[in-house]
Amino acid sequence: MAVSNSTYIIQVEESIDALSFTIRNLGHTIVGAYSVVITPPYDSGLGTLIYLLQDNDVLENGVKIDASTLNISHFPDGIYTIQITVDGGSTVLTENTEGFLAQTSSAVMKDALNYRVGMDSHTKYLILEKMRLLDNLTYAAELGLLDAFNENLAQLKKLI
C-alpha cells in the first residue's frame, strides 16, 4: 500500500515471514534522509523503533529493514506508523500508516489448504470464517479503516 503527500510516495512491503520489510520512495528524491522511525502496534509490547539510515541506503532503490537489526525477533501483526526523518532526526518529512499481516495471513492460508469436501461442517465453517475475516482485513487496509482493521485482526487471532 503506498501512501502519499503532495511530494513523496512511500511504499512499504512486509516480508512473508514477518522478519523484515522494505521501504521505498516512489516520489521525489529525499535528500538528507536520516532515519526511519517505526511505531509498532500498541498491543505488541514494543516501544518506538529507530533505524538509522546508512550511507549506502538509498530510499529510491528500497531499504530492507530486518527485525534483527532492531533487536526484535519479528514484526508482529497490526498497525504501524512509519516516519522518514531528515535534519538529524529532528524533522518528520513524511509519515505513513501500514497494516502488517504476515503471521496471521500465513496461518489462515495454511489452514485453507487443508479444506476438503468431506470435512465436518464446523471445521469448514471455521476455515471459511477465517478467510472472510482476512478479506475484511484487506478491505479495511485498502480503505484506511484502522478501527475495522484492528477489530477484524483481533477476531481472527482468536480463531487461529
* Co-location of 91 and 112 in the same domain: no
Closest CA to 40 of 104, 106, 98: 98
pLDDT number for residue 68: 95
* Co-location of 137 and 61 in the same domain: no
Last residue of one domain, picked from the residues 70, 100, 130 = 100
Q: Can you tell me the mean pLDDT for 90-101?
A: 87
Residue 116 has pLDDT above 80, yes or no: yes
* Co-location of 88 and 15 in the same domain: yes
Tell me how far apart the alpha carbons of residues 156 and 135 are, in angstroms, rounded to a whole number. Answer: 11
Residue 3 has pLDDT above 70, yes or no: no
Tell me how far apart the alpha carbons of residues 3 and 120 are, in angstroms, rounded to a whole number. Answer: 43
Phi and psi at 71, nearest 5°, equal 60, 40
Q: How many domains does the chain have?
A: 2
* Co-location of 94 and 148 in the same domain: no
Task: Quote the domain boundaries for residue 66.
Answer: 2-100
Last residue of one domain, picked from the residues 58, 81, 100 = 100
Tell me how far apart the alpha carbons of residues 106 and 158 are, in angstroms, rounded to a whole number. Answer: 15
Alpha helices in the chain (DSSP H): 102-112, 121-143, 146-159
* Co-location of 25 and 93 in the same domain: yes
Q: Does the pTM of the predicted model rise above 0.85?
A: no
Task: Tell me the percentage of the chain whose pLDDT exceeds 70.
Answer: 96
